[in-house]
Amino acid sequence: MTFSVTILGSSSALPTSKRFPSAHVLNVHERLFLIDCGEGTQIQLRRFKLPINRINHIFLTHSHGDHVLGIFGLISTFNLLGRKADLHVYGVTDFEDIFYKNIDYFTDQMSFKVIYHVVDPFKVEQIYTDRHVVVSTLPLRHRVPAVGYLFREAPKPLNIRKELIAKYNLSLSEIVEIKNGSDYITPKGEVIPNSEFTYIASLPRSYAYCSDTLYSERLVGLVKNVDLLYHEATFLHSHLKLARLTGHSTAKQAATVAFKAGVGKLIIGHFSSRYKNEKDLLKEAEEIFPLTEIVNDGNTFSVEPKSTY
């Protein structure tokens, strides 16, 4: 089953000729989730041939323009295309009023419903779940209220050992109960632990998106052991004072989060346009956490179990 992320935009405040502002698309079993929506997101969706009609949920980290200015054009395009399905948008309180006012101003006679879900940027809470994925918030430390997101595959049903079905002549109802976690009780009253009957074919995969944040020890704990971590790396560590002033992280700090959290792989982006060679940022991060890659617009990263990296 597909679990991958495509980078639509990897620049920070200023777009460049090579990099659009922040936006990622997460593909979970062929359902698309948009994370941040910087200017030009809909152009990138078309450029990289991603079906926008599959986007029903958009997760915004905070109200700065390089993360949200693309959403109004995208919603207008949805409307022009005659969209009917509800669109769910998740974001902080201070953006809700601006969000609805812009939609009302720029879009007439909406063909679909837009529902804004307010998230608390200071709490860790589950905000969305379906049979494929569970989404939780990750509090960030920025100049304005900001939140990251953790996407985990929903736990998969237990597999039952076929040889034991025959050995104990299990009925269909007994098989269902065991797959749901129950122990098995033989006709003689012997209790056989569920763990002897079942096994997990593969562990749920996970992706964490952490953009626009100061270094955070709390965040280290929240992204512990995730398979793929995206962490902003706006500056080199030689510009640490500027990073602190603007509420951002350095490549070294992003790598330190990855190292302390024991993640499977780190990808870094949201680069300041002051750097003409992003490989310097990569080199700085790799010195702390070797399993690091820089992101470029159009890159797709498969989210794999941590042990495979």
The catalytic residues are: 66
What Rg, from alpha-carbon coordinates, does the chain have?
22
Nearest Cα neighbor of 92 from 32, 24, 36 is 36
- In three-state form (DSSP H/G/I as H, E/B as E, the rest C), the secondary structure along the chain is CCEEEEEEECECCCCCCCCCCCEEEEEECCEEEEECCCCCHHHHHHHCCCCHHHEEEEECCCCCHHHHCCHHHHHHHHHHCCCCCCEEEEECHHHHHHHHHHHHHHCCCCCCCEEEEECCCCCCCEEEECCCEEEEEEECCCCCCCEEEEEEECCCCCEECHHHHHHHCCCHHHHHHHHCCCCEECCCCCEECHHHHEECCCCCCEEEEECCCCCCHHHHHHCCCCCEEEEECCECHHHHHHHHHHCCCEHHHHHHHHHHHCCCEEEEECECCCCCCCHHHHHHHHCCCCCEEECCCCCEEECCCHHHC
AA letter at 62: H
Residues 22 and 67: beta-carbon distance below 8 Å = yes
CB neighbour list of residue 203: distance below 8 Å, 6 or more residues apart: 305
Please give the Cα distance from 222 to 138 (Å, whole number). 7
Please give the Cα distance from 104 to 227 (Å, whole number). 40
